[in-house]
Structure 1
Amino acid sequence: MNDQRSQTQRHVVIAGAGMAGVQTAVALREQGFTGPVTLLGAEPHQPYDRPPLSKAVLLGKAEDSAFDVDFEDLGVTLRLGVEVTALRPADREVDTADGPVPYDVLVLATGAEPVTLPGGPVPGVHLLRTVDDAARLRPVLAGRHAVVVVGAGWIGAEFTTAARDAGCPVTVVEAAPRPLAAALPAAVTTPMAGWYEAAGARLLTGTRVAALEPGRVRLDDGTELPADAVVVGIGARPATGWLAGSGIERGADGSVTADARLHTSLPSVYAVGDCASFPSARYGERLLVHHWDNALQGPRTVAANILAETADRSPEAVYDPVPYFWSEQFGRFVQYAGHHTDEDTLLWRGDPAADTWSVCWLRDGVLVAVLAVGRPRDLAQGRKLIESGTAVDPAAAADPAVPLKSAAR
């Protein structure tokens, strides 16, 4: 049964005040939604951007990374320090510690939460996910303390970069045989492993942590590493545990199972950003993308479909992006666009021993992904080719002297 109330009467509640939640509120107003919008943020701070946390904020070059958004001017009710704890779709309410919040349309934008090692809290062990985490780590870097980083993924590499820039002795412990093993093939990550040593960091691969103890890290082979501080960066998972019992469909990875319009299995409930997976017709599989650009782009689709729903039209906006992210590590600007699998053909553009190089992945002759290290033009041109589904000449695509756009067939 359709809700016949006008748009101005329908209340949109957004659970989560990170990039995805904030951009959903902004997109709703930009696209002409005039009804009430409430944004619920679990943290007490003004909503902020996360990428600067491992860079400017961590190094003390900036106090915060708050979004430049005037919520009052937008007519958005911002409620901070209000964590959602449950969803009751039959009553169209979300529960919080401050009491229930009713909604007509709900947007799930609760993001992801860091994976932690087993055991309880240990003094000196840190995560790097929030502005408070960055604030706690700033004295560590300022004091040039000895640091052990657990995990050689994207966040581990970025923190190691910042810690070495600050003059901290750093040891990185990675359970996999190489950095970024879950994201990139061995041929690509092998040269990246050398970046750690060149930066003065010690990298231990194929090594597991047995225990975290005050002042030290004990490895599974019995080795003990002294540590003034430990930073754990072993991944993140969708922050959706609070949805248990709501009846909403979730995947094995915990992500909310959204459709191509970012609508969930519940009426008038959408999901966007790190907490949601979506089907990609472009890649023929469901994607869960834990990156900034996804949290920026997805809200536009959600807003368009909410406007259609509140105008009693069928939501038609489809979300099928070319995923994109970047990382700054060890003096290099690393960018990736697209999505690849192990079955795709890998092409090198340039020498991986050099400071700048790229990698392309082809599927049936069509460019589906590109990784660029210090070659932003390759990324920009490759992203356009991926978006258009353009076939390329492999020989031209593998020649770093040939502009990637010129490899199009």
Structure 2
Amino acid sequence: MVGAGMAGVRTAVGLRERGWRGRISLLGAETHRPYDRPPLSKALLLGTADGSAFDVDFEGLGIELLLGRHAVALRPAERVVVTAEGPEPYDRLVLATGAEPVALPGTEGLPDVHLLRTLDDAAALRPVLEQRRDVVVVGAGWIGAEFATAAREAGCAVTVVEAADRPLAGALPAEVAARTAAWYEEAGVRLLTGAAVASVAPGEVVLADGTGLTAGAVVVGIGARPATGWLAGSGVELGPDREVLADDRLRTSVPDVWAVGDCASFPSARYGTRLLVHHWDNAMQGPATAAANVLGGDEVYDPVPYFWSEQFGRFVQYAGHHAPGDAAVHRGDPDGAAWSVCWLRADGTLSGLLAVDRPRDLVQGRRLMERGAALDPERAADPSVQLKNAAL
């Protein structure tokens, strides 16, 4: 396994659980023992947790940890992963290198400009919160909102700058995403939409309209890309977002090489499109299929994607994958404490569901999607009706 995050660890453990007795090596670019990422933008930042290492007995399972190993090339003809520390031979290979955050152009090497992806990133940001500095967050996506939440809890003054006209512009339709803008104001966060960053200097962020923002620290959350640059020239086919193009068995275009987690997309018969899912649950689910198929199985990977976020005192969950033409059915008062949105295809099939502090809707909706159920739109729109009872 190349990549020691959730996807790589779960695949390695899955191989042992399925009876593989041969050598298993887990290569990780970081020197830290493998750890979980969700706490990085929450408990670890606030100092309410000391670490997030996986509770896995690697030594007892006979899983060799090769940490601090940076993969720089793949040579399938030689069955070798080339690392900065030397070559690592393989018989079967799983790519699980995840994704890397997109940097704000022109900010490389500037002091007090931060990304949030690794344990070291979180450690570097903790003093920012402890010292209650004025923070400018660039990007009002999931990571931006979660960091802004933590920074406000720590007592920081926070300004969030978003180039689009609303938060979560790349994740949710306009009429739904626009509802979340009020959450920022309620939390005491200044939200500037339609605002592009022109330049960043120590202590200041300057917007395209000339506005200057005081910035004791800048946190950039403008997206992530699959960490696949090292695969150039390997024969592993990549997609338009640099993701590994895996098939529905998570096989790559190169024999005896599979891919799982944030670095890979896969074709979904359930949704009729190829999915690239940068979320924890995908890294949790995919390894079971990858491990089975590495050992000669023929399992198809076609999950109902799932994601959650804790922001501004709300628990936000999304399951499924809705298309632009799907009809939105709203459950509950969007200005209230809890509400949901269901998306239905033309035949009434539930394709996606967003739940804000309505976890029962999410659980029931996910099960309905797994079985391809259609809903009665009128009953689905009634928040007093359990979603499972709206199924046709």
Q: Given residue 333 of structure 2, which amino acid in structure 1 is its aligned partner?
A: D
Aligned to 1:343: 325
Query: Would you say 1:127 and 2:127 are equivalent positions?
Result: no
In structure 2, distance between residues paired with 1:78 and 1:193: 44
Aligned to 1:27: 14
Query: Would you say 1:389 and 2:366 are equivalent positions?
Result: no
Aligned to 1:369: 352
Aligned to 1:75: 62
Aligned to 2:311: 329
In structure 1, distance between residues paired with 2:245 and 2:363: 30
What's the offset of the Cα at 1:187? 1.0
Q: Given residue 232 of structure 2, which amino acid in structure 1 is its aligned partner?
A: A
2:31 aligns with one of 23, 33, 44 = 44
Aligned to 1:5: none
Give the share of equivalent positions with the same residue, in percent.
Answer: 71
Query: Would you say 1:404 and 2:384 are equivalent positions?
Result: no
1:151 aligns with one of 117, 139, 154 = 139
2:94 aligns with one of 104, 107, 128 = 107
What's the offset of the Cα at 1:59? 0.4
Q: Secondary structure at the match of 2:219?
A: strand
Query: Would you say 1:231 and 2:219 are equivalent positions?
Result: yes
Q: Given residue 115 of structure 1, which amino acid in structure 2 is its aligned partner?
A: V
Query: Would you say 1:137 and 2:151 are equivalent positions?
Result: no
In structure 1, distance between residues paired with 2:154 and 2:215: 16
Q: Secondary structure at the match of 1:118?
A: coil
Aligned to 2:191: 203
Give CA-to-partner distance per residue, 1:284-320, whole Å, 9 cap, x none. 0000000000000000000000111xxxxxx410000
Aligned to 2:362: 379
Q: Given residue 160 of structure 1, which amino acid in structure 2 is its aligned partner?
A: A
Q: Give the TM-score normalised by the residue count of structure 2.
A: 0.99
Structure 2, gaps ≥5 residues long: none
Q: Given residue 351 of structure 1, which amino acid in structure 2 is its aligned partner?
A: D
In structure 1, distance between residues paired with 2:70 and 2:9: 15
Q: Secondary structure at the match of 1:58?
A: helix
Give CA-to-partner distance per residue, 1:48-69, whole Å, 9 cap, x none. 0000001110101112100001
Aligned to 1:9: none
1:182 aligns with one of 146, 149, 170 = 170
Query: Would you say 1:252 and 2:235 are equivalent positions?
Result: no
In structure 2, distance between residues paired with 1:27 and 1:354: 43
What's the offset of the Cα at 1:41? 0.5
What's the offset of the Cα at 1:121? 1.7
In structure 1, distance between residues paired with 2:237 and 2:84: 24
Q: Secondary structure at the match of 1:336?
A: strand
Q: Secondary structure at the match of 1:135?
A: helix
In structure 1, distance between residues paired with 2:207 and 2:180: 23
What's the offset of the Cα at 1:186? 1.1
In structure 1, distance between residues paired with 2:368 and 2:242: 32
In structure 2, distance between residues paired with 1:178 and 1:31: 46
Give CA-to-partner distance per residue, 1:193-218, whole Å, 9 cap, x none. 00000000000000000111111001
What's the offset of the Cα at 1:86? 0.4
Give CA-to-partner distance per residue, 1:375-403, whole Å, 9 cap, x none. 00000000000000011100001100000
In structure 2, distance between residues paired with 1:28 and 1:210: 49
In structure 2, distance between residues paired with 1:139 and 1:123: 13
Structure 1, gaps ≥5 residues long: 1-13, 309-314
Aligned to 1:288: 276
Q: Given residue 64 of structure 1, which amino acid in structure 2 is its aligned partner?
A: G
What's the offset of the Cα at 1:144? 0.8
Aligned to 1:316: 298
Q: Given residue 345 of structure 1, which amino acid in structure 2 is its aligned partner?
A: A
Aligned to 1:10: none
Q: Given residue 144 of structure 1, which amino acid in structure 2 is its aligned partner?
A: R
What's the offset of the Cα at 1:281? 0.2
Aligned to 1:92: 79
Q: Given residue 384 of structure 1, which amino acid in structure 2 is its aligned partner?
A: R
In structure 1, distance between residues paired with 2:200 and 2:132: 20
Q: Given residue 393 of structure 1, which amino acid in structure 2 is its aligned partner?
A: D
In structure 2, distance between residues paired with 1:202 and 1:341: 31
Across the aligned residues of Structure 1 and Structure 2, the Cα RMSD in angstroms comes to 0.6
Q: Secondary structure at the match of 2:97?
A: coil
In structure 1, distance between residues paired with 2:294 and 2:125: 40
In structure 2, distance between residues paired with 1:101 and 1:235: 31
Q: Secondary structure at the match of 2:44?
A: coil
In structure 2, distance between residues paired with 1:247 and 1:190: 43
Q: Secondary structure at the match of 2:73?
A: strand
Shift >6 Å, 4+ stretches: none
What's the offset of the Cα at 1:191? 1.4
Query: Would you say 1:273 and 2:261 are equivalent positions?
Result: yes
Q: Given residue 356 of structure 1, which amino acid in structure 2 is its aligned partner?
A: A
Q: Given residue 294 of structure 1, which amino acid in structure 2 is its aligned partner?
A: N
Q: Secondary structure at the match of 2:53?
A: coil
Q: Secondary structure at the match of 1:57?
A: helix
Aligned to 2:5: 18
Query: Would you say 1:354 and 2:341 are equivalent positions?
Result: no
In the alignment of these two chains, the number of paired residues is: 390
Q: Secondary structure at the match of 1:95?
A: strand
